[in-house]
Amino acid sequence: MEAHSHSRAALTLAALGVVYGDIGTSPLYALKQTLTPDHGIPAGPETVLGAASAIFWALMLVVSLKYVLLVLRADNHGEGGIMALLALARQAVAERPRALRVVAFAGMAGAALFYGDAVLTPAISVMSAVEGLSVGTHVFEPYVMPLAIIVLAGLFFMQQHGTASVGAWFGPVAMLWFAALAAGGVYQILQHPQVLSALYPDHAWWFVTQHGFASFAVLGAVLLAFTGAEALYADMGHFGRGPVRLAWYGLVFPALVLNYLGQGALLSRAPAALSNPFFLLYPEWALYPMVLLATAATVIASQATITGAFSLTRQAIQLGYLPRMQVVQTSSKMFGQIYIPVVNWLLFVLVVGIVAGFGKSDHLAAAYGLAVTGTMLVTTLLTFYVIHYGWGYGLFASLAASGAFLLIDAAFFSSSLLKIADGGWFPLALGTMVFIVMRTWVRGRRSLLARVGVVDIPLTDFLASLMADPPARVPGTAVFLNASPHTVPHALLHNLNHNRVLHERLVFLTVRIKTEPWVAFEDRMRVEPLGDEAYAVTLTFGFKNRPDVPAALEGLGPQFGLTFEPMQTSYFLSRETVVPSPDIDSGLANWREHLFRWLARNAGSAVEYFNLPANRVIELGSRVEI
């Protein structure tokens, strides 16, 4: 019991840094943006109470009720996140083609918008923290942007070396950060306790209903208070539902509420503090220590978002939504510690670009909400399909569970659309580009496989004909990777045509990725003897498993009577080169055909993806017209 409690406490502490880094840094800018005069709501004590109350009830409804109580229940064998939820929803509607199309479309849209969040979170968080330097003196103002870029550059350059060495500090630093949030809030509340009346919902209702169009527009700023809520769900698999909930209710939620109320108390007494209400919460002597702590907290928040982008990309690759990319495992102990060079450097260029382009965190805030609320809207929609079709709840019960949240998400998303001209175009444009890439890759691969399938030969018939008059057999094992377990791999045909020999043992290997996150090691292999020392082998991985083919074959082969000696095993791959053909209708527009060919040409090598030994691989190419 004591060991279990210790483990739960350790997981809860770790969750503070990874799960709550993003939402934990929202007090740096959320209330300030909500009360900006640009919304057209008259300033005054009642407005301050209304804004603080609106943020409190947004945290209560969107985070505490929707995510912590409802969405965390929709786990895919313990895993969460938009891709895990998409896989779960696909299973639930597998027999309903129309619903399946809606689910796939929505899931890809939500995943695409997440990349906008992955770019904007590091930018706005680090900029907001470094801007605290200019609160004490204007001397630092010219150096805010260069310092922010230096911090971000160090963060992205660190990714290739892994974060295990600094990750142990994330939890303790995050705990210190939340304690500082609470302390600053209490310090101001004690000086103006009347602000506690903001906990009554009537203040929030007045703020978001009594100012006409301005009440609708201000929702786009209120939502900044719960950016990062998606991380509660996405990182559930790392820590478990219990520690995530315990961290939220035990520390994060109380600390955030106290800090927002403290900012409200300060602004009620000193309206001029709106220039930077977060850092002005604290006594003058605490300003620069808080800037340092805020910078550390924003780096942690950014790290969690970058890691989330890496994880989402790997899941999308394994589910077939993106082409293969090089995935580097940076830790031998923690599966989630990965590094994807292409994603890392694209994010770095985009983050630095928008920091330089937008200049201030105030300008970035307009762009931030659209990506966040779009992903949240998709999460709620997919949750409905899981509840109704997967769990078997009736339509009324399913709508009751998710319908109200869908309306709330739609209201916040609609409000954030008003910010398109002020920066909201950026995550929308980025998400659209990622979505186009995903859709093009899915449809292009479908067209390619259909084209290859036209000339496929049944494997059993071919082997029977071949073994009637076999070519020379040479020592060793030949493993032919094949998309289908029932057809002849093109690599075998090329090998026979050029080398005119067969290995003494033939393995026709098909790798499957399930819509479940994990497949137990002992359940990954299925073997079908085909006679004459030929075998059809299927390896099955979950979409979060590392598809390490040699390790699986060597570890599981003996129980099926197959031993794979590394130096006696050769891997044969067929690499298709896609070429255009005016006589074939691929179903893709001309520009999308060009995009698919470019993606296919630049896709990562199967050798790295399946962890095949490079010195034991023979790759044979073929041209496929689409």
For residue 3, pLDDT beyond 50: no
Q: Which of the four pLDDT bands, split at 50, 70 and 90, describes residue 136?
A: low
Element (H, E) at 513: strand 501-513
CA 316/CA 322 separation, integer angstroms:
6
Q: What is the pLDDT of residue 164?
A: 61
Model confidence at 331: pLDDT above 70: no
Total Cβ atoms within 10 A of residue 354: 23
User: What residues contact residue 198 under an 8 Å CB cut-off, 6+ apart?
Assistant: 49, 50, 52, 53, 56, 204, 261, 264
- Give the residue among 123, 477, 565 at the shortest CA–CA distance from 301: 123
Q: What are phi and psi of 503, to 5 degrees?
A: -75, 160
Check if the beta carbon of residue 308 is closer than 8 Å to that of residue 234: yes
Lowest mean pLDDT of 246-250, 358-362, 569-573, name the range: 358-362
DSSP string, 112-140: HHHHHHHHHHHHHHHHHHHTTHHHH-GGG
pLDDT value for 455: 56
**What is the tens place of the pLDDT at every residue in 603-622?**
888 888 898 998 899 887 66
Give the number of other Cβ atoms within 10 Å of residue 165's Cβ: 10
**Residue 558 backbone phi and psi in degrees, to 5:** -55, -35
CA 182 to CA 613: how far, in whole Å? 53
**Measured between alpha carbons, how far is 56 from 118 in angstroms, rounded to an integer?**
25
Q: Tell me the HSE value of 111 on the side-chain side, using a 13 A CA sphere.
A: 32
Q: Which pLDDT score is estimated for 1?
A: 42
What tokens does 335 get? 């599966």
Statement: residue 395 has pLDDT above 70: yes
Pairing status of strand 569-579 against strand 501-513: unpaired
Looking only at the bridges linking them, the beta strands covering 501-513 and 534-541 are: parallel
State the average pLDDT for the chain: 86
The model's pLDDT over 403-444, given as tens digits with 9 standing for 90+, comes to 888 999 999 999 988 888 888 888 889 999 999 999 999 988
Please determine, for residue 44, whether its predicted confidence score (pLDDT) is greater than 90: no
User: What one-character-per-residue DSSP string does 463-489 give?
Assistant: HHHHHHS--EEEEEEEEEE-S-TTB--
10: helix, coil or strand?
helix
Supply the DSSP string of 55-90, one letter for each residue. HHHHIIIIIIIIIIIIGGG--BTTB-SHHHHHHHHH
Cβ 327 vs Cβ 609: under 8 Å: yes
Ranges 359-373, 387-401, 507-521: which has the least confidence: 359-373
For domain 2-418, the CATH class is mainly alpha
What lies within 8 Å, CB to CB, of 235 at 6+ separation is 15, 18, 19, 80, 81, 244, 304, 308
Label the pairing between strands 338-339 and 328-329. Answer: antiparallel
Q: What pLDDT, in 10s, does the model give residues 449-502? A: 776 654 568 888 889 998 888 889 999 999 999 887 888 888 888 888 888 889
Longest CA span, the chain: 94
- For residue 507, the cross-strand partners are 479, 535
| Cβ-proximal residues to 212 (8 Å cutoff; 6+ apart), any chain | none
117 burial via Cβ count (<10 Å: 0-12, 13-18, 19+): buried
Share of the chain above pLDDT 70, in %: 93
Q: From residue 473, give the alpha-carbon distance in Å to each of 476, 478, 491, 533.
A: 9, 11, 17, 11
Domain boundaries, the chain: 2-418, 452-625
CB 226 within 8 A of CB 248: no
The 3-state secondary structure of 171-231 reads: HHHHHHHHHHHHHHHHHHHCCCHHHHHHHCHHHHHHHHHCCCHHHHHHHHHHHHHHCCHHH
User: How high is the pLDDT of residue 144?
Assistant: 84
Measured between alpha carbons, how far is 594 from 580 in angstroms, rounded to an integer? 8
* Paired tokens of 591: 């520009």
* Local confidence band at 623 (pLDDT 50, 70, 90 cut-offs): low
Give mean pLDDT, residues 538-544: 89
8 A C-beta contact, residue 455 and residue 485:
no
Q: Can you tell me the distance from the alpha carbon of 535 to that of 392, in angstroms, rounded to the nearest whole number?
A: 40
Segment holding 490, helix H or strand E: helix 490-499
Over residues 171-206, the pLDDT tens digits come to 899 999 999 999 999 999 999 999 999 999 999 999
pTM: 0.83
Please, which pLDDT band fits residue 2 given cuts at 50, 70 and 90?
A: very low
Rounded Cα–Cα distance for residues 546 and 541 (Å): 8
Amino acid identity at 501: V
Q: Among residues of the chain, what percentage have pLDDT more than 90?
A: 31
Distance between start and end Cα atoms, the chain:
62
Q: What does the DSSP assignment read for 313-332?
A: HHHHHHTTSS-----EE--S
The CA-based dihedral angle spanning residues 66, 68, 70, 73, taken in that order and rounded to the nearest 10 degrees? 150
Instruction: For residue 256, give the 3-state DSSP assignment.
Output: helix
SS3 content of the chain, % helix, strand, coil (to 5): 70, 10, 20
249-292 pLDDT tens trace: 999 999 999 999 999 999 999 998 998 899 999 998 888 899 99
Dihedral sign of CA atoms 528, 530, 534, 536 in order: negative
**CB–CB of 218/41 below 8 Å?**
yes
Query: Residue 578, class by beta-carbon neighbours within 10 Å (0-12 exposed, 13-18 middle, 19+ buried)?
Result: buried
